[in-house]
Amino acid sequence: MPNPSVSDQQLTGRVITRFGAELILETAQGETIRATTRRKLEHIACGDYVAWQTESQGNASVIDILPRQNVLLRPDMRGKPRAVAANIDVLLVVSSWRPAPNWEMLDRYLIAARHLPTDVIIIMNKADLRAAYSSAEQEAALAEYEQVGYPVYPVQAKTGQGLSALRQAIKGKTAIFAGQSGVGKSSLVSALVPELDLKIGAIADTGEGRHTTTVASLYHLPEGGALIDSPGVRDFPLLPLSVLDLQAGYPEFQAFMGMCRFNNCTHHHEPGCAIKAAIASHDLPPQRYQRYLTLLAGQNNN
């Protein structure tokens, strides 16, 4: 596992599962142990690197969170940010042809990824259903993502189609799945981590197996790297964003930034808008722009 910059005297590890104040850590030596966390570390998340110590009673206690590369946040029931996972190298956004793709939800994931920041791979699962369930409008929407530079991987989790290329793309990285319900994330996790049942069984032996379907868990990939499976990113409302933050989530806008008549242009109703002109001249993808306007209206209503 990566070795964060800490003193030789500190015991270090990585959080592979958290349930309340209880954690399962993987130590720097590869051992899996149970630990507790102090109240001041309530925001600790799966994927965090931590410093820990053995208490006089013999139990392990996390004493600090080591510097993060990034942290994925989502609003809790009260609208406050909650850490879902940390130190993510690539966000795997899963869609499928059945249920039909939810492009607005996909855009929300991509905006969140831009602000982590982290790389993104769009996975179109159930590739065998494409001919039967795809439409011209859906094909055009998918092509827009490739047009603006997002990699798209067509796969079929149950048969293994396309998984070899996906494995190579995430080799040596920490990846996390996101996507709406029913698109096959669980099947993908099982296909990428063949020993998953054994790993879940090992966690169950600690008395915490009942939590494995409701908390984020980190699994090692056979090719190297890790995969975080988390129910916290199934439905992903965005945290409140400024107009500039929302615009930053659309990388195709960047080439036209600074070209609008008004410095604070929202690219909606203002005259002399370079983004609207680019849409009219077919230099920017129109469906993505329409979803930007929808998200803009939603942020303004928050």
Instruction: Say which CATH number the domain at 149 has.
Output: 3.40.50.300
Q: Which of 233, 261, 278 delimits the end of a domain?
A: 233
Average model confidence (pLDDT) for the chain?
87
Percent of the chain with pLDDT over 70: 88
Q: Please check whether residue 6 lies inside any domain of the structure.
A: no
Percent of the chain with pLDDT over 90: 65
Give alpha helix (H) positions in the chain. 103-115, 130-133, 136-147, 163-170, 185-192, 196-204, 243-248, 274-280, 286-300
pLDDT in tens, 275-291: 999 999 999 999 999 99
Q: Please check whether residue 102 lies inside any domain of the structure.
A: yes
**Of the given ranges (12-16, 76-80, 168-172, 219-223), which has the lowest mean pLDDT?**
76-80
The CA distance from 174 to 170, in Å, is 7
What range does the domain containing 247 cover? 243-300
270 and 208 in a single domain? The answer is no
The CA distance from 143 to 155, in Å, is 16
Q: Which of 19, 39, 65 delimits the end of a domain?
A: 65
Q: Please check whether residue 77 lies inside any domain of the structure.
A: yes
Q: With the CA atoms of 264, 265, 270 and 273 taken in that order, what torsion angle do they form, in degrees rounded to the nearest 10?
A: 140
Q: With the CA atoms of 178, 184, 215 and 11 taken in that order, what torsion angle do they form, in degrees rounded to the nearest 10?
A: -70
173 and 220 in a single domain? The answer is yes
Pairing of strands 174-178, 226-229: parallel
125 and 86 in a single domain? The answer is yes
99 and 31 in a single domain? The answer is no
* 221 three-class SS: coil
Which one has a higher pLDDT value, 179 or 204? Answer: 179
Query: How many domains are there within the chain?
Result: 3
81 and 199 in a single domain? The answer is yes
pLDDT in tens, 45-82: 999 999 999 887 778 999 999 999 999 988 777 878 88
Question: pLDDT-based confidence at 300, cuts 50/70/90?
Answer: low
CATH of the domain at 256: 1.10.40.50
